[in-house]
Structure 1
Amino acid sequence: MLKQRVLTALVLLMVLLPALFYTQPEPFFLIAAVFIAAAGWEWARMNGLSMSLSLVAGGLCVLACLGMWWTGVLVDAWPRVWLLTGTVWVLAGAWMLKAGVPAWSRVARPVRLVLGLLALCLTWLAVVQARLLGINFLLSVLALVWMADIGAYFSGRALGGRFTRRKLAVSISPGKSWEGVWGGMVGVILMACVWRYADLANGGASPSFYTLLGERGWGFMVVAVVFMAAMSVVGDLVESLVKRSAGVKDSSALLPGHGGVLDRVDALLPTLPLAMMLVSF
Protein backbone atom coordinates (compact mmCIF):
# COMPACT_ATOMS: atom_id res chain seq x y z
CA MET A 1 0.00 0.00 0.00
CA LEU A 2 2.77 2.45 0.93
CA LYS A 3 4.64 1.70 -2.30
CA GLN A 4 1.47 2.34 -4.30
CA ARG A 5 0.88 5.64 -2.50
CA VAL A 6 4.43 6.84 -3.13
CA LEU A 7 4.43 5.85 -6.80
CA THR A 8 1.05 7.47 -7.42
CA ALA A 9 2.16 10.65 -5.65
CA LEU A 10 5.34 10.81 -7.75
CA VAL A 11 3.39 10.40 -10.99
CA LEU A 12 0.94 13.13 -9.95
CA LEU A 13 3.80 15.48 -9.10
CA MET A 14 5.47 14.78 -12.45
CA VAL A 15 2.26 15.84 -14.18
CA LEU A 16 1.16 18.73 -11.98
CA LEU A 17 4.38 20.56 -11.16
CA PRO A 18 5.55 21.22 -14.76
CA ALA A 19 2.06 22.47 -15.64
CA LEU A 20 1.87 24.64 -12.52
CA PHE A 21 5.25 26.31 -13.09
CA TYR A 22 4.96 26.60 -16.87
CA THR A 23 5.21 30.19 -18.06
CA GLN A 24 1.67 30.08 -19.49
CA PRO A 25 -1.23 28.93 -17.28
CA GLU A 26 -3.25 27.09 -19.95
CA PRO A 27 -1.69 23.60 -19.44
CA PHE A 28 -2.54 23.82 -15.74
CA PHE A 29 -6.11 24.83 -16.59
CA LEU A 30 -6.51 21.74 -18.78
CA ILE A 31 -5.07 19.33 -16.22
CA ALA A 32 -7.28 20.82 -13.52
CA ALA A 33 -10.31 20.32 -15.80
CA VAL A 34 -9.38 16.64 -16.24
CA PHE A 35 -9.22 16.16 -12.47
CA ILE A 36 -12.58 17.90 -12.05
CA ALA A 37 -14.09 15.63 -14.72
CA ALA A 38 -12.78 12.56 -12.86
CA ALA A 39 -14.23 13.91 -9.61
CA GLY A 40 -17.55 14.51 -11.38
CA TRP A 41 -17.58 10.88 -12.54
CA GLU A 42 -16.88 9.75 -8.96
CA TRP A 43 -19.61 11.98 -7.58
CA ALA A 44 -22.16 10.58 -10.01
CA ARG A 45 -21.16 7.00 -9.17
CA MET A 46 -21.50 7.67 -5.42
CA ASN A 47 -24.98 9.02 -6.07
CA GLY A 48 -26.13 5.82 -7.76
CA LEU A 49 -25.75 6.63 -11.47
CA SER A 50 -24.69 3.99 -13.96
CA MET A 51 -21.23 3.95 -15.51
CA SER A 52 -22.42 5.54 -18.75
CA LEU A 53 -24.39 8.30 -17.03
CA SER A 54 -21.48 8.95 -14.69
CA LEU A 55 -19.22 9.42 -17.71
CA VAL A 56 -21.76 11.90 -19.06
CA ALA A 57 -21.62 13.76 -15.73
CA GLY A 58 -17.84 13.95 -15.96
CA GLY A 59 -18.14 15.18 -19.54
CA LEU A 60 -20.57 17.89 -18.49
CA CYS A 61 -18.02 19.11 -15.95
CA VAL A 62 -15.41 19.44 -18.69
CA LEU A 63 -17.85 21.25 -20.98
CA ALA A 64 -18.79 23.65 -18.18
CA CYS A 65 -15.13 24.39 -17.46
CA LEU A 66 -14.29 24.89 -21.13
CA GLY A 67 -17.41 27.05 -21.51
CA MET A 68 -16.26 29.37 -18.73
CA TRP A 69 -12.82 29.47 -20.33
CA TRP A 70 -14.18 30.22 -23.81
CA THR A 71 -16.52 32.99 -22.62
CA GLY A 72 -13.68 34.76 -20.82
CA VAL A 73 -15.12 34.73 -17.30
CA LEU A 74 -11.83 33.49 -15.84
CA VAL A 75 -10.40 36.99 -15.60
CA ASP A 76 -13.47 38.50 -13.87
CA ALA A 77 -13.39 38.98 -10.09
CA TRP A 78 -16.90 37.61 -9.42
CA PRO A 79 -17.03 38.76 -5.77
CA ARG A 80 -20.77 38.08 -5.45
CA VAL A 81 -20.36 34.57 -6.85
CA TRP A 82 -17.64 33.79 -4.32
CA LEU A 83 -19.63 35.35 -1.49
CA LEU A 84 -22.66 33.23 -2.39
CA THR A 85 -20.56 30.09 -2.85
CA GLY A 86 -18.78 30.61 0.46
CA THR A 87 -22.04 31.26 2.30
CA VAL A 88 -23.63 28.13 0.85
CA TRP A 89 -20.61 26.04 1.85
CA VAL A 90 -20.73 27.31 5.44
CA LEU A 91 -24.48 26.83 5.86
CA ALA A 92 -24.80 23.58 3.89
CA GLY A 93 -21.71 22.11 5.56
CA ALA A 94 -23.06 22.93 9.01
CA TRP A 95 -26.45 21.41 8.16
CA MET A 96 -24.96 18.22 6.71
CA LEU A 97 -22.68 17.61 9.68
CA LYS A 98 -25.47 18.27 12.16
CA ALA A 99 -28.14 16.27 10.32
CA GLY A 100 -25.84 13.36 9.53
CA VAL A 101 -25.88 10.57 6.98
CA PRO A 102 -29.64 9.76 7.12
CA ALA A 103 -30.66 13.35 6.26
CA TRP A 104 -28.31 13.49 3.28
CA SER A 105 -29.67 10.19 1.99
CA ARG A 106 -33.18 11.66 2.00
CA VAL A 107 -32.20 14.55 -0.30
CA ALA A 108 -33.47 13.90 -3.82
CA ARG A 109 -30.80 12.32 -6.02
CA PRO A 110 -31.04 14.96 -8.81
CA VAL A 111 -30.52 17.71 -6.23
CA ARG A 112 -27.48 15.94 -4.77
CA LEU A 113 -26.06 15.36 -8.22
CA VAL A 114 -26.47 18.95 -9.40
CA LEU A 115 -25.11 20.46 -6.18
CA GLY A 116 -21.99 18.31 -6.33
CA LEU A 117 -21.25 18.97 -9.99
CA LEU A 118 -21.81 22.69 -9.49
CA ALA A 119 -19.42 22.71 -6.51
CA LEU A 120 -16.78 20.95 -8.62
CA CYS A 121 -17.08 23.41 -11.51
CA LEU A 122 -16.85 26.38 -9.13
CA THR A 123 -13.77 24.80 -7.57
CA TRP A 124 -12.16 24.64 -11.02
CA LEU A 125 -12.98 28.32 -11.57
CA ALA A 126 -11.49 29.16 -8.15
CA VAL A 127 -8.25 27.25 -8.73
CA VAL A 128 -7.87 28.82 -12.17
CA GLN A 129 -8.39 32.33 -10.83
CA ALA A 130 -5.99 31.57 -7.97
CA ARG A 131 -3.36 30.56 -10.55
CA LEU A 132 -3.96 33.79 -12.43
CA LEU A 133 -3.28 35.70 -9.20
CA GLY A 134 0.10 34.00 -9.08
CA ILE A 135 1.79 30.71 -8.33
CA ASN A 136 2.72 31.97 -4.87
CA PHE A 137 -0.92 32.73 -4.14
CA LEU A 138 -2.18 29.34 -5.28
CA LEU A 139 0.55 27.43 -3.46
CA SER A 140 -0.16 29.34 -0.24
CA VAL A 141 -3.82 28.29 -0.34
CA LEU A 142 -2.94 24.67 -1.12
CA ALA A 143 -0.32 24.66 1.63
CA LEU A 144 -2.91 25.86 4.13
CA VAL A 145 -5.00 22.75 3.51
CA TRP A 146 -1.94 20.50 3.60
CA MET A 147 -0.70 22.03 6.86
CA ALA A 148 -4.13 21.72 8.48
CA ASP A 149 -4.14 18.02 7.55
CA ILE A 150 -0.54 17.35 8.61
CA GLY A 151 -0.90 19.29 11.86
CA ALA A 152 -4.12 17.47 12.66
CA TYR A 153 -2.49 14.07 12.05
CA PHE A 154 0.54 14.63 14.27
CA SER A 155 -1.21 16.55 17.06
CA GLY A 156 -4.05 14.05 17.09
CA ARG A 157 -1.60 11.19 17.58
CA ALA A 158 0.54 13.04 20.12
CA LEU A 159 -2.13 14.67 22.26
CA GLY A 160 -4.64 11.87 21.83
CA GLY A 161 -2.20 9.48 23.42
CA ARG A 162 -1.61 11.62 26.52
CA PHE A 163 -5.07 13.02 27.14
CA THR A 164 -8.61 11.83 26.69
CA ARG A 165 -9.10 11.86 22.95
CA ARG A 166 -12.28 13.73 22.07
CA LYS A 167 -13.85 12.51 18.85
CA LEU A 168 -14.81 15.18 16.35
CA ALA A 169 -17.53 13.34 14.41
CA VAL A 170 -17.56 9.71 15.46
CA SER A 171 -20.50 8.74 13.22
CA ILE A 172 -18.87 10.25 10.12
CA SER A 173 -15.10 9.95 10.53
CA PRO A 174 -14.12 8.11 13.74
CA GLY A 175 -10.41 8.81 13.30
CA LYS A 176 -10.70 12.59 13.63
CA SER A 177 -10.37 14.32 16.98
CA TRP A 178 -10.67 17.82 18.40
CA GLU A 179 -7.02 17.62 19.41
CA GLY A 180 -6.18 17.18 15.74
CA VAL A 181 -8.30 20.18 14.75
CA TRP A 182 -6.59 22.47 17.28
CA GLY A 183 -3.15 21.23 16.26
CA GLY A 184 -3.92 21.84 12.60
CA MET A 185 -5.05 25.38 13.34
CA VAL A 186 -1.87 26.16 15.29
CA GLY A 187 0.21 24.84 12.40
CA VAL A 188 -1.73 26.96 9.91
CA ILE A 189 -1.28 30.14 11.97
CA LEU A 190 2.48 29.59 12.28
CA MET A 191 2.84 28.85 8.59
CA ALA A 192 0.82 31.93 7.60
CA CYS A 193 2.99 34.21 9.76
CA VAL A 194 6.23 32.77 8.37
CA TRP A 195 4.95 32.89 4.79
CA ARG A 196 3.84 36.50 5.11
CA TYR A 197 7.15 37.48 6.68
CA ALA A 198 9.01 35.81 3.78
CA ASP A 199 6.83 37.70 1.29
CA LEU A 200 7.61 41.00 2.98
CA ALA A 201 11.33 40.18 3.07
CA ASN A 202 11.26 39.46 -0.67
CA GLY A 203 9.48 42.68 -1.50
CA GLY A 204 6.05 41.10 -2.10
CA ALA A 205 6.46 40.97 -5.88
CA SER A 206 4.08 37.99 -6.07
CA PRO A 207 1.84 38.21 -2.99
CA SER A 208 0.58 35.12 -1.25
CA PHE A 209 -2.86 34.56 0.23
CA TYR A 210 -1.47 35.55 3.62
CA THR A 211 0.06 38.79 2.38
CA LEU A 212 -3.24 39.88 0.86
CA LEU A 213 -5.06 39.01 4.08
CA GLY A 214 -2.39 40.74 6.14
CA GLU A 215 -3.01 44.02 4.34
CA ARG A 216 -6.07 44.28 6.60
CA GLY A 217 -4.02 43.57 9.70
CA TRP A 218 -2.39 40.60 11.37
CA GLY A 219 -5.49 39.95 13.45
CA PHE A 220 -7.66 39.64 10.36
CA MET A 221 -5.15 37.26 8.78
CA VAL A 222 -5.11 34.98 11.84
CA VAL A 223 -8.91 34.85 12.06
CA ALA A 224 -9.18 34.20 8.31
CA VAL A 225 -6.70 31.32 8.24
CA VAL A 226 -8.31 29.70 11.30
CA PHE A 227 -11.66 29.93 9.51
CA MET A 228 -10.10 28.41 6.38
CA ALA A 229 -8.57 25.57 8.40
CA ALA A 230 -11.97 24.87 9.95
CA MET A 231 -13.62 24.78 6.53
CA SER A 232 -10.97 22.39 5.23
CA VAL A 233 -12.07 20.01 7.99
CA VAL A 234 -15.70 20.56 6.96
CA GLY A 235 -14.87 19.66 3.35
CA ASP A 236 -13.16 16.46 4.50
CA LEU A 237 -16.06 15.50 6.77
CA VAL A 238 -18.69 16.26 4.12
CA GLU A 239 -17.01 13.90 1.67
CA SER A 240 -16.76 11.22 4.36
CA LEU A 241 -20.47 11.67 5.05
CA VAL A 242 -21.31 11.25 1.36
CA LYS A 243 -19.18 8.10 1.16
CA ARG A 244 -20.93 6.64 4.21
CA SER A 245 -24.26 7.41 2.58
CA ALA A 246 -23.11 5.59 -0.56
CA GLY A 247 -21.63 2.70 1.44
CA VAL A 248 -18.12 3.02 -0.01
CA LYS A 249 -14.69 3.42 1.58
CA ASP A 250 -13.12 5.46 -1.23
CA SER A 251 -14.67 7.68 -3.88
CA SER A 252 -13.04 5.41 -6.51
CA ALA A 253 -9.82 3.52 -7.23
CA LEU A 254 -8.47 6.00 -9.81
CA LEU A 255 -5.43 6.83 -7.68
CA PRO A 256 -3.86 3.57 -6.44
CA GLY A 257 -3.05 3.77 -2.76
CA HIS A 258 -4.94 7.06 -2.38
CA GLY A 259 -8.49 6.20 -3.36
CA GLY A 260 -10.19 8.62 -5.72
CA VAL A 261 -9.77 12.21 -6.83
CA LEU A 262 -12.47 13.39 -4.40
CA ASP A 263 -10.55 11.74 -1.57
CA ARG A 264 -7.60 14.00 -2.38
CA VAL A 265 -9.41 17.28 -3.12
CA ASP A 266 -12.31 17.17 -0.65
CA ALA A 267 -10.81 19.83 1.65
CA LEU A 268 -10.13 22.10 -1.35
CA LEU A 269 -13.77 22.20 -2.47
CA PRO A 270 -14.80 24.77 0.17
CA THR A 271 -11.41 26.41 0.80
CA LEU A 272 -10.55 27.50 -2.75
CA PRO A 273 -13.83 29.40 -3.29
CA LEU A 274 -13.57 30.84 0.23
CA ALA A 275 -10.03 32.02 -0.47
CA MET A 276 -11.27 33.82 -3.57
CA MET A 277 -14.14 35.29 -1.53
CA LEU A 278 -11.77 36.67 1.11
CA VAL A 279 -9.49 38.39 -1.42
CA SER A 280 -12.24 39.57 -3.80
CA PHE A 281 -13.59 42.23 -1.46
Structure 2
Amino acid sequence: MLKQRVITGLLLAVVVFSAVLLLPSFWFGLAVLAVCLGGAWEWARLCGLESGGQRGLYVTGVAALAGLGAFTAFALDQIWPVVLGVLWWGGVLVVLAFYRPAGREGRILWRRYGLGSAGVLTLVPAFIALVWLHQVQPALVLYLILLTATADSAAYFAGRRFGRHKLAPRISPGKTREGLLGALIAIVPFGLLGAWYFGVIPALWFFFVCLCLVTALVSVAGDLFESVLKREAGAKDSGALLPGHGGILDRIDSLTAAAPVFLMGLLWGVIMAR
Protein backbone atom coordinates (compact mmCIF):
# COMPACT_ATOMS: atom_id res chain seq x y z
CA MET A 1 0.00 0.00 0.00
CA LEU A 2 2.80 2.46 0.89
CA LYS A 3 4.64 1.74 -2.38
CA GLN A 4 1.45 2.26 -4.36
CA ARG A 5 0.74 5.49 -2.48
CA VAL A 6 4.24 6.83 -3.19
CA ILE A 7 4.10 5.95 -6.91
CA THR A 8 0.68 7.56 -7.30
CA GLY A 9 1.85 10.63 -5.38
CA LEU A 10 4.89 11.08 -7.60
CA LEU A 11 2.83 10.73 -10.77
CA LEU A 12 0.30 13.24 -9.47
CA ALA A 13 3.08 15.69 -8.62
CA VAL A 14 4.53 15.45 -12.14
CA VAL A 15 1.12 15.94 -13.76
CA VAL A 16 0.15 18.85 -11.51
CA PHE A 17 3.47 20.70 -11.80
CA SER A 18 3.51 20.21 -15.58
CA ALA A 19 -0.06 21.49 -15.93
CA VAL A 20 0.60 24.56 -13.80
CA LEU A 21 3.85 25.51 -15.51
CA LEU A 22 3.21 24.50 -19.11
CA LEU A 23 -0.46 25.08 -19.84
CA PRO A 24 -1.83 28.50 -20.85
CA SER A 25 -4.39 29.80 -18.37
CA PHE A 26 -7.35 28.86 -20.58
CA TRP A 27 -6.31 25.21 -20.82
CA PHE A 28 -5.24 25.19 -17.19
CA GLY A 29 -8.73 26.41 -16.32
CA LEU A 30 -10.30 23.57 -18.29
CA ALA A 31 -8.06 21.08 -16.49
CA VAL A 32 -9.02 22.50 -13.10
CA LEU A 33 -12.68 22.45 -14.09
CA ALA A 34 -12.38 18.78 -15.06
CA VAL A 35 -10.87 17.97 -11.67
CA CYS A 36 -13.61 19.91 -9.87
CA LEU A 37 -16.32 18.13 -11.85
CA GLY A 38 -14.73 14.80 -10.97
CA GLY A 39 -14.87 15.94 -7.36
CA ALA A 40 -18.52 16.92 -7.86
CA TRP A 41 -19.29 13.38 -9.06
CA GLU A 42 -17.79 11.97 -5.86
CA TRP A 43 -19.55 14.62 -3.77
CA ALA A 44 -22.90 13.64 -5.29
CA ARG A 45 -22.37 10.01 -4.26
CA LEU A 46 -21.45 11.00 -0.73
CA CYS A 47 -24.60 13.13 -0.58
CA GLY A 48 -26.71 10.07 -1.26
CA LEU A 49 -27.30 10.49 -5.00
CA GLU A 50 -26.84 6.88 -5.99
CA SER A 51 -27.97 6.73 -9.61
CA GLY A 52 -25.79 7.87 -12.48
CA GLY A 53 -28.55 10.19 -13.70
CA GLN A 54 -28.80 11.98 -10.36
CA ARG A 55 -25.04 12.41 -10.14
CA GLY A 56 -24.87 13.58 -13.75
CA LEU A 57 -27.52 16.20 -13.05
CA TYR A 58 -25.58 17.39 -10.00
CA VAL A 59 -22.32 17.60 -11.98
CA THR A 60 -24.11 19.48 -14.77
CA GLY A 61 -25.42 21.99 -12.23
CA VAL A 62 -21.94 22.51 -10.78
CA ALA A 63 -20.52 22.96 -14.29
CA ALA A 64 -23.17 25.56 -15.15
CA LEU A 65 -22.55 27.52 -11.96
CA ALA A 66 -18.79 27.29 -12.49
CA GLY A 67 -19.22 28.72 -15.98
CA LEU A 68 -21.44 31.51 -14.67
CA GLY A 69 -18.98 32.27 -11.90
CA ALA A 70 -16.05 32.32 -14.33
CA PHE A 71 -17.92 34.67 -16.67
CA THR A 72 -18.73 36.97 -13.76
CA ALA A 73 -15.14 36.98 -12.52
CA PHE A 74 -13.18 37.19 -15.76
CA ALA A 75 -15.53 38.86 -18.25
CA LEU A 76 -17.29 41.25 -15.86
CA ASP A 77 -14.31 41.65 -13.50
CA GLN A 78 -16.39 40.89 -10.42
CA ILE A 79 -14.80 39.39 -7.33
CA TRP A 80 -17.95 38.37 -5.48
CA PRO A 81 -17.88 34.65 -6.48
CA VAL A 82 -14.56 34.35 -4.62
CA VAL A 83 -15.83 36.48 -1.73
CA LEU A 84 -18.73 34.07 -1.42
CA GLY A 85 -16.22 31.25 -1.07
CA VAL A 86 -14.34 33.08 1.69
CA LEU A 87 -17.58 33.74 3.58
CA TRP A 88 -18.52 30.10 3.14
CA TRP A 89 -15.32 28.86 4.76
CA GLY A 90 -15.76 31.32 7.59
CA GLY A 91 -19.16 29.72 8.17
CA VAL A 92 -17.64 26.23 7.95
CA LEU A 93 -15.32 27.03 10.86
CA VAL A 94 -18.42 27.71 12.96
CA VAL A 95 -20.14 24.54 11.73
CA LEU A 96 -17.10 22.43 12.59
CA ALA A 97 -16.92 23.89 16.08
CA PHE A 98 -20.50 22.83 16.85
CA TYR A 99 -20.84 19.77 14.61
CA ARG A 100 -22.96 16.88 15.81
CA PRO A 101 -23.86 13.87 13.64
CA ALA A 102 -27.31 14.29 12.11
CA GLY A 103 -30.14 12.17 13.50
CA ARG A 104 -31.66 9.42 11.40
CA GLU A 105 -34.70 11.48 10.40
CA GLY A 106 -32.75 14.55 9.37
CA ARG A 107 -29.80 12.77 7.76
CA ILE A 108 -31.29 12.40 4.27
CA LEU A 109 -32.30 16.07 4.05
CA TRP A 110 -28.97 17.17 5.53
CA ARG A 111 -26.94 15.05 3.12
CA ARG A 112 -28.88 15.78 -0.05
CA TYR A 113 -29.66 19.44 0.36
CA GLY A 114 -27.31 20.79 3.02
CA LEU A 115 -24.18 18.98 1.94
CA GLY A 116 -25.26 19.09 -1.70
CA SER A 117 -25.31 22.90 -1.61
CA ALA A 118 -22.01 22.84 0.26
CA GLY A 119 -20.42 21.10 -2.73
CA VAL A 120 -21.21 24.05 -4.98
CA LEU A 121 -19.86 26.55 -2.44
CA THR A 122 -16.71 24.47 -2.07
CA LEU A 123 -15.86 23.66 -5.67
CA VAL A 124 -16.93 26.70 -7.70
CA PRO A 125 -15.06 29.47 -5.79
CA ALA A 126 -11.96 27.24 -5.62
CA PHE A 127 -12.03 26.75 -9.40
CA ILE A 128 -12.30 30.49 -10.02
CA ALA A 129 -9.59 31.35 -7.48
CA LEU A 130 -7.08 28.86 -8.90
CA VAL A 131 -7.58 30.10 -12.46
CA TRP A 132 -7.32 33.72 -11.27
CA LEU A 133 -4.02 33.00 -9.49
CA HIS A 134 -2.69 31.22 -12.57
CA GLN A 135 -3.52 34.18 -14.81
CA VAL A 136 -1.51 36.47 -12.55
CA GLN A 137 1.42 34.10 -12.03
CA PRO A 138 1.51 30.29 -12.24
CA ALA A 139 4.06 30.21 -9.44
CA LEU A 140 1.34 31.43 -7.07
CA VAL A 141 -0.63 28.25 -7.74
CA LEU A 142 2.42 26.08 -7.07
CA TYR A 143 3.15 28.03 -3.91
CA LEU A 144 -0.40 27.53 -2.67
CA ILE A 145 -0.23 23.78 -3.39
CA LEU A 146 3.08 23.51 -1.54
CA LEU A 147 1.72 25.61 1.34
CA THR A 148 -1.20 23.24 1.91
CA ALA A 149 1.09 20.23 1.52
CA THR A 150 3.54 21.68 4.05
CA ALA A 151 0.78 22.33 6.55
CA ASP A 152 -0.64 18.83 6.08
CA SER A 153 2.74 17.10 6.42
CA ALA A 154 3.81 19.16 9.42
CA ALA A 155 0.48 18.47 11.15
CA TYR A 156 0.89 14.75 10.53
CA PHE A 157 4.43 14.47 11.90
CA ALA A 158 3.90 16.87 14.80
CA GLY A 159 0.70 15.04 15.70
CA ARG A 160 2.43 11.66 15.68
CA ARG A 161 5.29 12.91 17.83
CA PHE A 162 3.57 15.27 20.24
CA GLY A 163 -0.18 14.71 19.78
CA ARG A 164 -2.09 14.41 23.04
CA HIS A 165 -5.27 16.46 22.63
CA LYS A 166 -7.81 15.75 19.90
CA LEU A 167 -8.63 18.64 17.59
CA ALA A 168 -12.07 17.46 16.46
CA PRO A 169 -12.81 14.03 18.00
CA ARG A 170 -16.35 13.86 16.55
CA ILE A 171 -15.05 14.43 13.04
CA SER A 172 -11.48 13.15 12.69
CA PRO A 173 -10.05 11.45 15.79
CA GLY A 174 -6.57 11.33 14.27
CA LYS A 175 -6.08 15.10 14.18
CA THR A 176 -4.62 16.81 17.25
CA ARG A 177 -4.18 20.35 18.49
CA GLU A 178 -0.44 19.76 18.70
CA GLY A 179 -0.47 18.74 15.03
CA LEU A 180 -2.27 21.96 14.10
CA LEU A 181 0.25 23.98 16.08
CA GLY A 182 3.09 22.17 14.32
CA ALA A 183 1.54 23.02 10.96
CA LEU A 184 1.28 26.71 11.82
CA ILE A 185 4.86 26.81 13.09
CA ALA A 186 6.09 25.21 9.85
CA ILE A 187 4.19 27.77 7.78
CA VAL A 188 6.04 30.76 9.28
CA PRO A 189 9.38 30.14 7.49
CA PHE A 190 7.46 29.03 4.40
CA GLY A 191 5.60 32.35 4.44
CA LEU A 192 8.85 34.29 4.80
CA LEU A 193 10.33 32.38 1.87
CA GLY A 194 7.26 33.20 -0.21
CA ALA A 195 7.43 36.89 0.69
CA TRP A 196 11.02 36.97 -0.50
CA TYR A 197 10.41 34.96 -3.67
CA PHE A 198 7.41 37.00 -4.82
CA GLY A 199 9.10 40.32 -4.08
CA VAL A 200 6.63 41.46 -1.43
CA ILE A 201 7.66 44.84 -0.06
CA PRO A 202 9.14 44.60 3.48
CA ALA A 203 6.23 46.53 4.99
CA LEU A 204 3.88 43.74 3.92
CA TRP A 205 5.97 40.73 4.96
CA PHE A 206 4.12 40.40 8.26
CA PHE A 207 0.78 40.57 6.45
CA PHE A 208 1.88 37.95 3.93
CA VAL A 209 3.02 35.52 6.64
CA CYS A 210 -0.27 36.05 8.51
CA LEU A 211 -2.15 35.37 5.27
CA CYS A 212 -0.23 32.11 4.88
CA LEU A 213 -1.11 31.15 8.46
CA VAL A 214 -4.81 31.87 7.92
CA THR A 215 -4.73 29.99 4.62
CA ALA A 216 -3.15 26.98 6.33
CA LEU A 217 -5.76 27.11 9.08
CA VAL A 218 -8.60 27.19 6.55
CA SER A 219 -6.98 24.32 4.61
CA VAL A 220 -7.33 22.21 7.76
CA ALA A 221 -11.01 23.19 7.85
CA GLY A 222 -11.33 21.94 4.28
CA ASP A 223 -9.88 18.59 5.29
CA LEU A 224 -12.19 18.37 8.32
CA PHE A 225 -15.28 19.31 6.31
CA GLU A 226 -14.62 16.53 3.83
CA SER A 227 -14.32 14.22 6.83
CA VAL A 228 -17.80 15.37 7.87
CA LEU A 229 -19.07 14.57 4.38
CA LYS A 230 -17.55 11.07 4.48
CA ARG A 231 -18.71 10.46 8.05
CA GLU A 232 -22.30 11.32 7.15
CA ALA A 233 -22.05 8.96 4.17
CA GLY A 234 -20.35 6.20 6.16
CA ALA A 235 -17.44 6.17 3.69
CA LYS A 236 -13.71 5.85 4.31
CA ASP A 237 -12.63 7.58 1.08
CA SER A 238 -14.42 9.83 -1.39
CA GLY A 239 -13.62 7.39 -4.19
CA ALA A 240 -11.10 4.90 -5.53
CA LEU A 241 -9.75 6.70 -8.59
CA LEU A 242 -6.26 7.29 -7.16
CA PRO A 243 -4.62 4.07 -5.88
CA GLY A 244 -3.40 4.50 -2.32
CA HIS A 245 -4.92 7.99 -2.07
CA GLY A 246 -8.66 7.44 -2.40
CA GLY A 247 -10.66 9.79 -4.58
CA ILE A 248 -10.26 13.24 -6.08
CA LEU A 249 -11.81 15.00 -3.08
CA ASP A 250 -9.33 13.27 -0.78
CA ARG A 251 -6.53 15.06 -2.65
CA ILE A 252 -8.08 18.50 -3.16
CA ASP A 253 -10.05 19.03 0.07
CA SER A 254 -7.43 21.33 1.62
CA LEU A 255 -6.81 23.21 -1.62
CA THR A 256 -10.47 23.97 -2.28
CA ALA A 257 -10.68 25.77 1.05
CA ALA A 258 -7.31 27.50 0.80
CA ALA A 259 -7.58 28.94 -2.73
CA PRO A 260 -10.34 31.57 -2.25
CA VAL A 261 -8.85 32.75 1.06
CA PHE A 262 -5.33 33.04 -0.35
CA LEU A 263 -6.52 34.96 -3.42
CA MET A 264 -8.67 37.37 -1.43
CA GLY A 265 -5.83 38.02 1.00
CA LEU A 266 -3.47 38.89 -1.85
CA LEU A 267 -6.03 41.25 -3.36
CA TRP A 268 -7.04 42.82 -0.04
CA GLY A 269 -3.44 43.41 0.97
CA VAL A 270 -2.71 44.87 -2.48
CA ILE A 271 0.08 42.31 -2.86
CA MET A 272 -1.52 41.31 -6.16
CA ALA A 273 -3.40 43.56 -8.56
CA ARG A 274 -6.79 42.45 -9.93
Map Cα deviations across residues 111-159 of structure 1 (whole Å, 9 max, x no partner): 4212312421221111111111101211222221111111111111222
Q: Which of 122, 134, 137 is residue 137 of structure 2 equivalent to?
A: 134
For residues 191 and 156 of structure 1, do their structure 2 counterparts lie closer, same or farther at Cα, with a shift above 3 Å needed? same
- Which 10-residue stretch deviates more, 130-139 or 105-114? 105-114
- Does 2:188 align with 1:185? no
Q: Calculate the TM-score normalised by the size of structure 2.
A: 0.87
- Which 10-residue stretch deviates more, 95-104 or 121-130? 95-104
Counterpart position of 1:44: 44
For residues 17 and 75 of structure 1, do their structure 2 counterparts lie closer, same or farther at Cα, with a shift above 3 Å needed? farther
- Which 10-residue stretch deviates more, 175-184 or 214-223? 214-223
Distance 2:56 2:88 in 1: 27
For residues 268 and 45 of structure 1, do their structure 2 counterparts lie closer, same or farther at Cα, with a shift above 3 Å needed? same
- Does 2:6 align with 1:6? yes
Return the offset for 1:3. 2.4
Q: Which amino acid aligns with 2:151?
A: A
Return the offset for 1:12. 2.4
Q: Which amino acid aligns with 2:178?
A: E
Q: Which of 262, 269, 273 is residue 249 of structure 2 equivalent to?
A: 262
Return the offset for 1:108. 6.3
Q: Is the 8 A contact 1:152 1:182 kept in 2?
A: yes
How many residues align? The count is 264
Counterpart position of 1:169: 168
- Does 2:19 align with 1:19? yes
Distance 1:252 1:32 in 2: 18
Distance 1:166 1:266 in 2: 23
For residues 45 and 133 of structure 1, do their structure 2 counterparts lie closer, same or farther at Cα, with a shift above 3 Å needed? same
For residues 62 and 276 of structure 1, do their structure 2 counterparts lie closer, same or farther at Cα, with a shift above 3 Å needed? same
Map Cα deviations across residues 56-78 of structure 1 (whole Å, 9 max, x no partner): 32233334434555x47336653
Distance 2:72 2:89 in 1: 25
Output aligned runs, 1:54-203, within 5 Å. 54-68=55-69, 71=71, 73-74=73-74, 77-102=77-102, 105=107, 107=110, 109-160=112-163, 165-199=164-198
Distance 1:216 1:82 in 2: 26
Give the SS at the match of 1:217: helix
Return the offset for 1:180. 0.5
Distance 2:49 2:82 in 1: 29
Distance 1:118 1:234 in 2: 14
Return the offset for 1:79. 3.5
CA RMSD of aligned residues (A): 2.3
Distance 2:169 2:69 in 1: 39
Return the offset for 1:87. 1.9
- Which 10-residue stretch deviates more, 80-89 or 252-261? 80-89
Give the SS at the match of 1:101: coil
Q: Calculate the TM-score normalised by the size of structure 1.
A: 0.85
For residues 193 and 136 of structure 1, do their structure 2 counterparts lie closer, same or farther at Cα, with a shift above 3 Å needed? same
Q: Which of 232, 236, 240 is residue 227 of structure 2 equivalent to?
A: 240
Q: Which amino acid aligns with 1:137?
A: L
Q: Which amino acid aligns with 1:221?
A: F
Q: Which amino acid aligns with 1:15?
A: V
Q: Which amino acid aligns with 1:248?
A: A
Q: Which amino acid aligns with 1:217?
A: L
- Which 10-residue stretch deviates more, 90-99 or 250-259? 90-99
Return the offset for 1:179. 0.7
Q: Which amino acid aligns with 1:126?
A: A
Q: Is the 8 A contact 1:78 1:280 kept in 2?
A: no
Counterpart position of 2:272: none
Return the offset for 1:251. 0.6
